[in-house]
Amino acid sequence: MRSLHYIIGLLLLTLSGCASVDLAESPLETEQAVPTVAKVEPSHPYADIPGENLSTLLQAEFAIRERNLDAGLMHLMAASQAIPDPAIARRALQLAQYIRNADATLEMAIRVSDLDPSDGSAATLAAAVFIERSDIARALTYSRRAFDAGSDINPAALLNNYGGQTPETQAATRNLLEALESDYPEDARSLFAIALLEWRQGSSDVAVTKLDKLFTIEAFHERGTLLLTEILSQADDPDAFDPLLKAIEATNSGLLRYQYARYLLGKQKLTKAKAQFDVLVADPGATVDHLIGAAVLDIELSDSASALLHLDRALSFGQRESDAQFFKALALIQLNDVSGALKALGAVGPSTNYARALQEAATILVSQGDIGAANAFFEQHRQVHADGAELNFALHAETLQTLGSIEAESVLSRGISAFPASTRLLFARANFRERAGIFDLAEADYRQILNLNPGDANALNALGYALTNNTDRFQEAAGLLEEAISKDPRNPAIIDSLGWVYFKLGKDRQAELLLKEAYKQYPDPEVAAHLIELLWTQGREVEAKDLIANQWRASPNNEHLRETASRLAIPLPE
């Protein structure tokens, strides 16, 4: 059974795509998508259009009739900018949405709203796109218009990434939210938004006062309840969860119950969390998040059969399919259904769990010891999930290398041909070639990495350390490592590398200081082996033996310790 830390960590990161509920949420107050047109009518009667602009409109209409929608949109947008008629702008907006042209959609939403400020849908759409692009400053105007027009907009969304906004934008956001609160004192949306703002700016008492007023309007406002719970929890109030529990009892809100279940998971109160998830999944309206959350908890509790039921139900929704397939694989692994697990892992595409899925597959394939099966899995996976091929190549090669296959290099070379700027793949091939004793080719890869990332500290360290271990070009290596440490002076790997090359250059005093500092920060067997060799060659055998004994107990049979001990004839602990 996997460790509690591993599974709970996965669960908290994947239940809803973030570590905690986003109190600001989306620009739309409801979760409905912004309406788009289902059909573009091929004709539109235009009247009273100036002659000089009529030809542009006719070009648009002819292009739309010929199903050349991109050209039709281009002409419609040009006509819209020339003619201050919201009807033309709306038609261009509909077409832009229909062909999913995001930039044109934003431009035409702005145009419609500017021509007709009472059009709440256009203003909402413009605000939503600006918020999605983190352009809060420009979203403010359209958010106000949408609110005034009675659109179903969520002004709290303006607080997304509030801390990352400029002081001017923060001040403008506060001004807008205060104006909305003043102009719409009985509107729950404006009250919640200002409460959230006060909390984010550290005024928890003011936020609670705003929430108290909010609850007189909507007694169990969901996000308001979650915010109050967060505030009380941060204050270590022993009754922090009372408002949340009362709201759950009164409303049976799936959102509130879900967040409470996640809190219980964070506190590792698994039985209580399962009771909440059981209620959620018993509801015919259970969401994919509820089902996946319940399944992952079942996996932790070793109830794989229950987990599979929830995951198959989640997959029927056609949402978060990669997440569901990944956790389905974990459940099947618990049931020792290896072939089923590999099939599920093969269905995981680029997503939060993509790397984990390939790693789980690699673990299974290595345990089977079948190089052919490993090649078949990764090659088929690349064909199905081409957008994740770079990582696939890397883990494919790593799996083959673990299995002792020399095919690993050719896999990496194919990957580099497909992704010539991939430093991940270049590092992997350089490391493989270095271990294989083909250092001239390994050095070429390391230098290519530096060409792609001039002055990068990690690339400088990799090349400098490789030169130290494989050549006598110690002075050249020292130059690279000195440049690396100037860029990242606290990195223990670079400190160790520089100490190691100084030892090779006979600079024992500087080497010892650096190696001890590296070992203090990162007591790794490889770093320890360097320090052991320095101590031993200086005749400080007792210190060297003590250090190797301590490391051997922590990392028995480590290759670096074994090689150093063998080369220097240092006796290893029994």
Arithmetic mean of pLDDT, 218-228: 96
Report the share of the chain in percent with pLDDT over 70. Answer: 91
The tens digit of pLDDT for each residue in 77-120 reads: 998 898 899 999 999 999 999 999 999 999 999 999 999 999 99
Q: Which two tokens stand for residue 109?
A: 């939403």
Let me know the angle formed at the C-alpha of 366 by 362 and 368, rounded to the nearest 5 degrees: 120
DSSP 245-297: HHHHHHH--HHHHHHHHHHHHHTT-HHHHHHHHHHHHHSTT--HHHHHHHHHH
Determine the Cα–Cα distance for residues 287 and 318; give it in Å rounded to an integer: 11
pLDDT for 49: 59
Task: Say which amino acid occupies 61.
Answer: E
The tens digit of pLDDT for each residue in 304-328 reads: 999 999 999 999 999 999 999 999 9
Determine the Cα–Cα distance for residues 199 and 185; give it in Å rounded to an integer: 19
CA 362, 366, 367, 370: dihedral to nearest 10 degrees? 120
Cβ atoms of 468 and 497 closer than 8 Å: yes
Report the SS3 class of residue 28: strand
Report the SS3 class of residue 44: coil
Determine the Cα–Cα distance for residues 481 and 323; give it in Å rounded to an integer: 42
What is the model's pTM? 0.75
The tens digit of pLDDT for each residue in 462-515 reads: 999 999 999 999 999 999 999 999 999 999 999 999 999 999 999 999 999 999
Bridge-partner residues for 28, per DSSP?
Answer: 153
Cβ atoms of 435 and 470 closer than 8 Å: no
Query: Which range has the worst mean pLDDT, 3-7, 238-242, 340-344, 560-564?
Result: 3-7
pLDDT at 48 over 70: no
The helix, strand and coil proportions of the chain, stated in percent and rounded to the nearest 5, come to 75, 0, 25
With b meaning 16 or more CB within 10 Å and e meaning fewer, what string describes 512-545?
A: bebbbbbbeeebbbbbbbbbbbbbbeeeeeeebb
Report the SS3 class of residue 452: helix
Distance (Å) of CA 104 to CA 43, 48, 80, 121: 20, 26, 12, 16
Bridge-partner residues for 153, per DSSP?
Answer: 28
Cβ atoms of 545 and 571 closer than 8 Å: yes
Residue 36 DSSP label: -
Residue 436, C-beta contacts closer than 8 angstroms, at least 6 positions apart: 409
Distance (Å) of CA 222 to CA 143, 215, 228, 229, 257: 22, 10, 10, 11, 10
User: Where do the domains of the chain lie?
Assistant: 26-153, 523-574
Cβ atoms of 498 and 461 closer than 8 Å: no
What is the gyration radius of the CA atoms in the chain, in angstroms?
A: 31
Q: Look at residues 522, 501, 523 and name the one whose alpha carbon lies nearest to residue 511.
A: 501
Q: Look at residues 444, 376, 385, 384 and name the one whose alpha carbon lies nearest to residue 413.
A: 444
pLDDT at 251 over 60: yes
pLDDT for 55: 74
The tens digit of pLDDT for each residue in 428-477 reads: 999 999 999 999 999 999 999 999 999 999 999 999 999 999 999 999 99
Report the share of the chain in percent with pLDDT over 90. Answer: 84
pLDDT for 2: 43
pLDDT for 434: 95
Instruction: Report the helix count and the strand count for the chain, using DSSP H and E.
Output: 31, 0
Q: Which two tokens stand for residue 159?
A: 């607080």
Determine the Cα–Cα distance for residues 88 and 91; give it in Å rounded to an integer: 5
Determine the Cα–Cα distance for residues 413 and 433; give it in Å rounded to an integer: 11
Q: Look at residues 429, 427, 419, 368 and name the one whose alpha carbon lies nearest to residue 397.
A: 429
pLDDT for 290: 96
Bridge-partner residues for 417, per DSSP?
Answer: none
Determine the Cα–Cα distance for residues 343 and 310; give it in Å rounded to an integer: 18
Phi, psi at 349, each rounded to 5°: -95, 180
Q: Look at residues 294, 295, 293, 288 and name the one whose alpha carbon lies nearest to residue 321.
A: 288
pLDDT at 34 over 50: no
pLDDT for 322: 97
Task: Say which amino acid occupies 120.
Answer: G
User: What is the three-state SS of 374-399?
Assistant: HHHHHHHHHHHCHHHHHHHHHHHHHH
pLDDT at 26 over 80: no
pLDDT at 15 over 50: no
Cβ atoms of 28 and 128 closer than 8 Å: yes
Tell me the CATH architecture of domain 26-153: Alpha Horseshoe (1.25)
Q: Look at residues 96, 99, 163, 165 and name the one whose alpha carbon lies nearest to residue 130.
A: 165
